[in-house]
């Protein structure tokens, strides 16, 4: 699974969780291209958004990550790299 | 009135979940669709079947049990009636006489298909003998500008569909309410239907839509046309935001620039989900009574102030 697909799963999960920032085309495109990273803190994620993010990752990649584990990652990029590593 | 077949299917599906994420996915569906009575039946069903839950879902059941029955509350008897893929009615069964004394709330959910909290939790704050809710969903997350599936293929057509199929004039009063991605649709609907009030909670505005991935090809010119056509009969509009939630405050000011709008601020709130914070502070009953009913903003107390 390539990095772009993993980043797309992250975007889909955040969108399903109603995280407004990721809807902004400029930010979304840059994140998908790997040009920009976003901290989880700046995304204003509530518990629903965290759940949706983990669900999208599991559905797209088969990697099971639960919302409590998201605290280990400071940025979405770190999360994407962790998933990429686990997919190998 | 409970859809017992649906509740049974949910309980069976819960029993089959192999991962926490599978269960979370199901709980999200419960939160989006289940009425208070259906949610109570799911809570009771899990208990009756002695199902084993992980700590996260044990907590969910405890929170919902408290929201539904805690502090002497009764479970509000809203019955869920799907009208089309994009809309469901939540209304306590009643004759036309009782309906004529109620307020219809046309509620546009946000991008997560919620009114900022589980629907059953939200409805518990609104007496079922006073309100019927038409709850609308836009799973395409295009701010309802691509229409409500089953009502119309754009927002004006969907508003016409609401008028035709739900009949707001059967009610004593109707108001439009929208959270987040549903905020602008609520204001537009109130303008178009000549409703007395619209409420947007952290609602999307033109700038948000234009900057969004899914908003790129959407045409918003109809909103300006509707404002011009109804310029002499505009609704009373409220925009609710946290007083420290900069992005929402900008959207609220954008709405103020378009039509007269009262900005309501939740003190100390820096995030988007203002309604949940108001609920945590114990002020949601009163806030919804004022916003959806005919209460005066001055009655809101310290939980919310006029900006």
Interface pTM (ipTM) of the complex? 0.87
Contact B276 A24 (CB under 8 A): no
Last residue of a domain, one of B28, B54, B72: B72
> With helix as H, strand as E and coil as C, how does A20-47 read?
HHHHEHHHHHHHHCCCCCCECHHHCCCH
Position A87 in a domain: no
A28 contacts in chain B (CB < 8 Å): 213
Are residues B20 and B126 part of one domain?
A: no
Its domain, for residue B144, covers: 79-306
d(CA B4, CA B9): 9
Are residues B302 and B241 part of one domain?
A: yes
Walk along chain B (307 residues) and give the pLDDT tens digit of each residue: 899 999 999 999 999 999 999 999 999 999 999 999 999 999 999 999 999 998 889 999 999 999 999 988 999 999 999 999 999 999 999 999 999 999 999 999 999 999 999 999 999 999 999 999 999 999 999 999 999 999 999 999 999 999 999 999 999 999 999 999 999 999 999 999 999 999 999 999 999 898 888 877 888 899 999 999 999 999 999 999 999 999 999 999 999 999 999 999 999 999 999 999 999 999 999 999 999 998 788 777 777 888 7
DSSP string, B181-217: GGHHHHHHHHHHHT-SEEEEES---HHHHHHBTTTTT
Kindly list the distances between the CA atom of residue B166 and the CA atoms of B86, B89, B243, in Å, as whole numbers in the listed order. Answer: 14, 9, 36
Its domain, for residue A48, covers: 3-82
The whole-number pLDDT of residue B216 equals: 76
Structure tokens at B105: 């709330």
Number of domains in chain B: 2
Are residues B55 and B108 part of one domain?
A: no
pLDDT in tens, B187-231: 999 999 999 999 999 999 999 898 888 877 888 899 999 999 999
Are residues B121 and B56 part of one domain?
A: no
Place of tokens 């997350």: B141
Contact A48 B114 (CB under 8 A): yes
pLDDT in tens, B76-111: 999 999 999 999 999 999 999 999 999 999 999 999
Interface test with A, best of B19, B27, B112, B207 (most A CBs within 10 A): B112
Place of tokens 């983990």: A54
A25 contacts in chain B (CB < 8 Å): 211-213, 216
Closest Cα to residue A46, out of B125, B60, B62, B271? B271
B22 contacts in chain A (CB < 8 Å): 58
Are residues B99 and B45 part of one domain?
A: no
Are residues B170 and B120 part of one domain?
A: yes
Structure tokens at A68: 């409590």
Number of domains in chain A: 1
The whole-number pLDDT of residue B211 equals: 87
Contact A23 B110 (CB under 8 A): no
Phi, psi of B88 (to 5 degrees): -135, 145
The CA distance from B68 to the nearest CA of chain A, in Å, is 20
Are residues B93 and B43 part of one domain?
A: no
Last residue of a domain, one of B42, B72, B102: B72
Are residues B127 and B49 part of one domain?
A: no
Question: At B263, which CATH number?
Answer: 3.40.50.1820
| B180 touches A20 (CB < 8 A) | yes
Last residue of a domain, one of B24, B51, B72: B72
Are residues B111 and B216 part of one domain?
A: yes
């Amino acid at each position: 699974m390539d990095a772009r697909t993993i980043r797309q799963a992250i975007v889909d999960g955040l969108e399903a969780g109603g995280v407004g920032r990721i809807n902004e085309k400029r930010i979304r495109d840059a994140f998908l291209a790997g040009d920009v990273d976003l901290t989880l803190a700046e995304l204003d994620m509530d518990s629903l958004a965290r759940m949706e993010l983990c669900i999208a990752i599991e559905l797209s990649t088969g990697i099971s990550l639960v919302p409590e584990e998201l605290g280990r990652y400071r940025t979405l990029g770190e999360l994407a790299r962790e998933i990429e590593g686990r997919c190998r | 009135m409970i859809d017992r077949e649906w509740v049974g299917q949910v309980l069976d599906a819960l029993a089959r979940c192999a991962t926490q994420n599978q269960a979370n996915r199901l709980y999200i569906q419960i939160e989006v669709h289940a009425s208070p009575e259906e949610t109570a039946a799911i809570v009771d069903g899990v208990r009756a079947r002695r199902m084993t839950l992980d700590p996260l879902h044990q907590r969910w059941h405890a929170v919902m049990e408290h929201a539904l029955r805690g502090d002497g509350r009764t479970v509000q008897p809203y019955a869920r009636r799907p009208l089309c893929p994009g809309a469901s009615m939540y209304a306590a069964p009643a004759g036309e006489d009782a309906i004529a004394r109620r307020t219809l709330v046309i509620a546009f959910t946000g991008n997560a298909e919620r009114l900022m909290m589980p629907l059953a939790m939200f409805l518990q704050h609104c007496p079922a003998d006073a309100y019927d809710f038409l709850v609308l969903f836009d799973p395409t997350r295009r701010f309802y500008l691509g229409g409500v599936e089953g009502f119309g293929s754009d927002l004006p057509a969907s508003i016409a569909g609401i008028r035709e199929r739900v009949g707001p004039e059967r009610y004593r009063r109707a108001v439009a309410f929208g959270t987040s991605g549903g905020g602008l649709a609520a204001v537009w609907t109130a303008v178009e239907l000549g409703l007395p009030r619209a409420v947007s909670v952290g609602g999307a505005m033109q700038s948000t839509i234009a900057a969004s991935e899914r908003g790129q090809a959407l045409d918003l010119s109809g909103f300006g046309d509707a404002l011009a056509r109804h310029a002499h009969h505009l609704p009373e509009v409220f925009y609710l935001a946290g007083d420290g939630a900069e992005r929402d405050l900008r959207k609220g000011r954008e709405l103020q620039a378009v039509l007269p709008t009262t900005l309501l601020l939740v003190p100390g709130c820096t995030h988007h989900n203002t309604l949940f914070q108001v609920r945590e502070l114990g002020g949601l009953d009163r806030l919804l009574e004022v916003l959806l009913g005919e209460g005066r903003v001055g009655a809101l107390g310290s939980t919310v102030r006029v900006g």
